[in-house]
């Protein structure tokens, strides 16, 4: 049933919004009417049979379609860490404003929220998820009776986490190492695999955004400790440092915009005439040369007109 539901939802959307509009002419002008194609009728018939068999109502299918569309839109947005950094910076502003006027309750509440956001961000980073799976694999490999299948599955999840991540700069450069360790596991060499995985953990601990968020978490804890002592200048100083750290992390996780101009093509493709097409920089140079020629011709024409008038 679960496997049929997506098909029925898709069919429902096609039937509901995919009707064809056919224009028809009349003596007084033109009108149009909607027709349903044979394929759409077939899909509708399948939906009706599915409803009869499962008891699922049309309203439920429409709700499922809306839910799936909302999930697809959310998945197409920025990565979770980008969204959470925005939320963290918003709460940080609230904490700073409350600390500025010495409002202990509001400051404590905002710091508690900020601490939770930073903690969740650290846990959802690709480096953290990959390290978690690596630790599970090492635990399985270092058991008295090594659980090779369990270790291999954990490393597969770690690899999948790195490959599927939409922000490559957040993924530590350990994918080849994990793949090497998995090869050792699959060939029943647990000791060699553990040696490689220890290096993976060392490399992953140096991931920049993870380190920035760790420092930000320490800064929030420092602000909470200072608040308990009513050391307001310390609270404000800690929040300023946390703001700097979150700003630096945010700058690193934002997608890099593609340059509009500049740069040359790495491998120009020959044209039919045997010449490589001009790259962006060559095209810009050609455009500048054309403009210079036009300006020169315009100047010559002006001089010619001036001489003719004289």
Q: What CATH number corresponds to the domain at position 141? A: 1.20.120
CA distance 33 to 105: 64
- Where residue 224 falls among pLDDT bands split at 50, 70, 90? very high
The verdict on 182 and 237 lying in the same domain is no
Q: How many independent structural domains does the chain possess? A: 3
pLDDT on residue 74: 54
The verdict on 226 and 202 lying in the same domain is no
The verdict on 114 and 166 lying in the same domain is no
Percent of the chain having pLDDT more than 90?
A: 49
The verdict on 218 and 97 lying in the same domain is yes
Q: Quick check: is 242 in a domain? A: yes
- Where residue 292 falls among pLDDT bands split at 50, 70, 90? low
DSSP secondary structure letters along 210-272 = HHHHHHHHHHHHHHHHHHHTT-HHHHHHHHHHHHHHHHHHHHHHSPPPPPSS----SSPPP-T
CA distance 64 to 309: 81
The verdict on 162 and 193 lying in the same domain is yes
The verdict on 177 and 246 lying in the same domain is no
The verdict on 43 and 183 lying in the same domain is no
pLDDT on residue 170: 84
- Which of residues 227 and 305 earns the better pLDDT score? 227
The model's pLDDT over 95-121, given as tens digits with 9 standing for 90+, comes to 999 999 999 999 999 999 999 999 999
Q: Is residue 204 scored above 70 in pLDDT?
A: yes
Q: Quick check: is 266 in a domain? A: no
The verdict on 139 and 190 lying in the same domain is yes
Q: Quick check: is 84 in a domain? A: yes
User: What is the mean predicted confidence (pLDDT) over 223-248?
Assistant: 96
31: β partners:
24
The verdict on 172 and 199 lying in the same domain is yes
Who's near 99: CB < 8 A, 6+ residues apart?
107, 223, 227, 232, 235, 236, 239
Q: Which of 177, 206, 235 is the last residue of a domain?
A: 206
CA distance 250 to 89: 9
The dihedral region occupied by 56, where left means phi > 0, alpha psi between -120 and 50, and beta the remainder, is: beta
Q: Which of 150, 176, 206 is the last residue of a domain?
A: 206
Which residue, chain included where needed, has tokens 């299918």? 61
The verdict on 171 and 132 lying in the same domain is yes
Q: Is residue 148 scored above 50 in pLDDT?
A: yes
User: What is the mean predicted confidence (pLDDT) over 145-163?
Assistant: 94
Range of the domain at 42: 4-23+31-75
Mean pLDDT of the chain: 78
The verdict on 103 and 245 lying in the same domain is yes
The model's pLDDT over 4-54, given as tens digits with 9 standing for 90+, comes to 555 555 555 554 545 544 555 544 454 545 566 777 778 777 777 777 777
CA distance 195 to 190: 9
pLDDT on residue 37: 74
Percent of the chain having pLDDT more than 70?
A: 66
- Which of residues 290 and 147 earns the better pLDDT score? 147
Q: Quick check: is 302 in a domain? A: no
Q: Quick check: is 297 in a domain? A: no
Q: Quick check: is 305 in a domain? A: no
The model's pLDDT over 249-282, given as tens digits with 9 standing for 90+, comes to 998 887 655 555 554 444 454 444 444 444 444 4
Q: For position 233, which CATH number holds?
A: 1.20.120.660
CA distance 139 to 134: 9
The verdict on 134 and 243 lying in the same domain is no
pLDDT on residue 223: 97
Q: Quick check: is 116 in a domain? A: yes
Q: Quick check: is 200 in a domain? A: yes
What pTM did the predictor assign?
0.59
């Amino acid at each position: 049933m679960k496997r049929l539901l997506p098909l029925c939802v898709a069919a429902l959307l096609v039937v509901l919004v995919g009707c064809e509009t056919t224009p028809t002419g009349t003596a007084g002008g033109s009108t149009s009417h909607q027709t349903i194609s044979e394929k759409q009728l077939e899909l509708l018939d399948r939906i009706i049979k599915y409803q009869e068999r499962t008891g699922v109502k049309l309203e439920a299918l429409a709700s499922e379609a809306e839910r799936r569309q909302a999930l697809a839109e959310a998945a197409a947005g920025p990565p979770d860490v980008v969204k959470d950094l925005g939320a963290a910076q918003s709460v940080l502003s609230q904490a700073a404003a409350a600390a500025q006027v010495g409002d202990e309750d509001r400051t404590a509440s905002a710091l508690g929220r900020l601490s939770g956001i930073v903690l969740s961000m650290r846990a959802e980073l690709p480096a953290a998820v990959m390290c978690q799976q690596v630790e599970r694999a090492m635990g399985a490999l270092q058991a008295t009776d090594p659980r090779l299948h369990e270790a291999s599955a954990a490393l597969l999840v770690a690899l999948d986490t790195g490959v599927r991540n939409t922000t490559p700069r957040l993924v530590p450069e350990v994918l080849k190492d994990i793949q090497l360790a998995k090869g050792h596991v699959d060939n029943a060499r647990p000791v060699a695999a553990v040696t490689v995985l220890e290096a993976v953990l060392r490399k992953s601990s140096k991931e920049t955004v993870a380190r920035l968020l760790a420092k930000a978490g320490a800064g929030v804890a420092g602000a909470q400790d200072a608040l308990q002592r009513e050391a307001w200048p310390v609270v404000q100083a800690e929040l300023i440092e946390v703001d700097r750290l979150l700003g630096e992390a945010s700058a690193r996780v934002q997608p890099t915009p593609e340059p509009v101009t500049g740069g040359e093509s790495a491998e120009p493709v020959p044209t039919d005439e045997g010449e490589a097409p001009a790259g962006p920089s060559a095209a810009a140079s050609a455009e500048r040369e054309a403009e210079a020629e036009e300006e020169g011709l315009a100047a010559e024409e002006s001089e010619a007109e001036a001489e003719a008038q004289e």
